[in-house]
């Protein structure tokens, strides 16, 4: 097993709070913890942006990046709505956008519809801001995972991401991360998210090819290094 120091592992982590009942006080605490732990980013709901307005002076992230979600968690939002959400989030300070693909289009094999959806969001996110595409890998067959990954490449995304953490099929798996990495090669990053609560699982995802980890148990994970 790969061995990483706490500082090394922290640079993989998107410290996440996407609970529907999350309060401004909880987001403030998330920010403070993220800065203390030196994680790569935090990921919060778009209603919490801009942080300086919703959270107040305690929203200073320093070098930590700010990510938010689009079309979350179902992915069943229209293409225009997803693009509007992304555009608004960028204007409100987001550095990274994690968008949920429409699983129905994946199951239908609608490559063109999926490309249009991702491209519509990509078009409103200026570089160097990042777009991650959430594919809900636990709900997909291997061929569907391959389709979702190829669509993400074709439409100009920066990452593919396993899961929202809210789908009943489950979250990240080593097998899904391995397949996603094999599909995207070095062209895109791979974010493993959903159910990652301990050091061993986080390391297993990294060894499988994850370049980013989404989790809420960051402190406990890093304390195990």
Catalytic-residue membership of 191 = yes
Identify the active-site residue in 14, 82, 132, 161: 161
Identify the active-site residue in 14, 98, 102, 158: 98
Catalytic-residue membership of 98 = yes
Cα distances from 72 to residues 69, 136, 137, 156, 209, in angstroms, run 6, 11, 15, 20, 24
Identify the active-site residue in 82, 132, 158, 191: 191
Give the residue carrying structure tokens 């225009």.
Answer: 80
Would you list the DSSP string of 113-169?
HHHHHHHHHHTTS-TTSEEEEE--GGGS-HHHHHHHHHHHHHTT-SEEE---S--TT
Catalytic-residue membership of 60 = no
CA angle 134, 135, 139 (to 5 degrees): 135
- Residues noted as catalytic: 98, 161, 191
């Amino acid at each position: 097993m790969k061995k990483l120091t706490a500082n090394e592992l922290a640079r993989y982590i998107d410290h996440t709070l996407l609970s529907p009942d999350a309060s401004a006080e909880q987001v403030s605490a998330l920010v403070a913890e993220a800065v203390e732990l030196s994680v790569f980013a935090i990921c919060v709901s778009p209603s919490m942006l801009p942080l300086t307005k919703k959270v107040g002076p305690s929203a200073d992230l320093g070098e930590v990046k700010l990510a938010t979600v689009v079309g979350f968690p179902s992915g069943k939002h229209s293409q225009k709505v997803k693009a509007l959400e992304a555009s608004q989030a960028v204007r409100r300070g987001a550095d990274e956008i994690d968008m949920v693909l429409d699983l129905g289009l994946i199951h239908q094999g609608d490559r063109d519809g999926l490309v249009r959806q991702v491209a519509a969001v990509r078009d409103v996110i200026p570089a160097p801001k990042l777009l991650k595409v959430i594919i809900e890998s636990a709900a997909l067959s291997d061929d569907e995972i391959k389709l979702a990954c190829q669509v993400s490449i074709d439409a100009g995304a920066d990452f593919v991401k396993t899961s929202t953490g809210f789908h009943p099929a489950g979250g990240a798996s080593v097998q899904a991360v391995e397949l996603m990495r094999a599909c995207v090669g070095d062209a895109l990053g791979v974010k493993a998210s959903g159910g990652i609560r301990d050091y061993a699982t986080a390391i297993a995802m990294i060894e499988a090819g994850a370049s980013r980890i989404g989790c809420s148990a960051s402190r406990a994970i890093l304390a195990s290094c």
